[in-house]
Amino acid sequence: MSQEALLWDMAVEHFGSEVLLQMVVEMWGSAAHPFRPVVEHLSTDRMSQEALNILKIAQERVGAFVPDRRPIHDTVTLYARHASDLADGLITRLPKGRLSPAMRGSRIEIELGM
């Protein structure tokens, strides 16, 4: 998703750090191991430090580390499938009025199972 950083920052602003952390741990904790081990790197180049910290804490709590990957400062390495599932979860939990037109389109696709 091209607006992933914006989505995370909106979620921090809307839900607050504590609630967002609980949501992310819940969503990530129920995520299945992906069939294809493609990884994604989320960093402060793309998102706020606060959103990144929430992801790092959630990753630690869930134990969702990508094997054989060294931790990188100011970066979270996670499976692309998990990043997509987390973004989808945020899109469906944020109020529709807060979403950009592209995000609203993504939400409709998610809700329709597309």
Query: pLDDT, tens digit, for every residue of 55-87?
Result: 999 999 999 999 988 888 899 999 999 999 999
- pLDDT (tens digit per residue) in 7-29: 999 999 999 999 999 999 999 99
- In one-letter notation, the amino acid at residue 61 is R
pLDDT at 36: 85
**Beta strand 75-79 with 39-43: parallel, antiparallel or unpaired?**
antiparallel
Longest dimension (CA), the chain: 41
pTM: 0.91
Report the pLDDT averaged over residues 99-108.
94
